[in-house]
Amino acid sequence: AQRVTQPEKLLSVFKGAPVELKCNYSYSGSPELFWYVQYSRQRLQLLLRHISRESIKGFTADLNKGETSFHLKKPFAQEEDSAMYYCAASGSARQLTFGSGTQLTVLP
């Protein structure tokens, strides 16, 4: 079965500290991986995806096929990064399978 796992429901870090949100996937074939973010009172939106290999708002994510992971990282967290983060995978049918989400809180 296709599955995306985010082991941390809640994650708190201090401003300026590095942050890593973990994501592991179990998928047949070669899925496309995404990170979506939901800020307070805003709609769910794409943060980044693995095929773009880009940094958005200082976040990066590297696809590790050997470990089937797609962890999201930022070297220096900011208070405005506080949000709910979802990892998602898309297979050949283009449906998204979401992880259960990680609520990130960046403390001042």
Partner 1 sequence: DGGITQSPKYLFRKEGQNVTLSCEQNLNHDAMYWYRQDPGQGLRLIYYSQIVNDFQKGDIAEGYSVSREKKESFPLTVTSAQKNPTAFYLCASRSTGGFAKNIQYFGAGTRLSVL
Burial of 31 (0-12, 13-18, 19+ CB in 10 A): buried
Q: Does 98 bind partner 1 (CB under 8 A)?
A: yes
- The SS3 of residue 81 is helix
Tell me whether residue 74 or residue 102 sits nearer to partner 1 (CB atom).
102
> Binding-site residue total for partner 1 (CB under 8 A)?
19
The correct pick among 12, 26, 100, 105 for binding partner 1 (CB under 8 A) is 100
Minimum Å gap between C-beta 104 and partner 1 is: 15
Q: Do 78 and 104 contact (CB within 8 A), yes or no?
A: no
Tell me whether residue 69 or residue 97 sits nearer to partner 1 (CB atom).
97
Q: Does 45 bind partner 1 (CB under 8 A)?
A: yes
Q: Does 31 bind partner 1 (CB under 8 A)?
A: no
Q: Read out DSSP for 34-75?
A: EEEEE-TTS--EEEEEGGG---BTTBEEEEETTTTEEEEEES
Rounded Cα distance between 90 and 70, Å, is 13
List of residues contacting partner 1 (CB under 8 A): 6, 9, 32, 34, 43-46, 49, 86, 90, 94-101
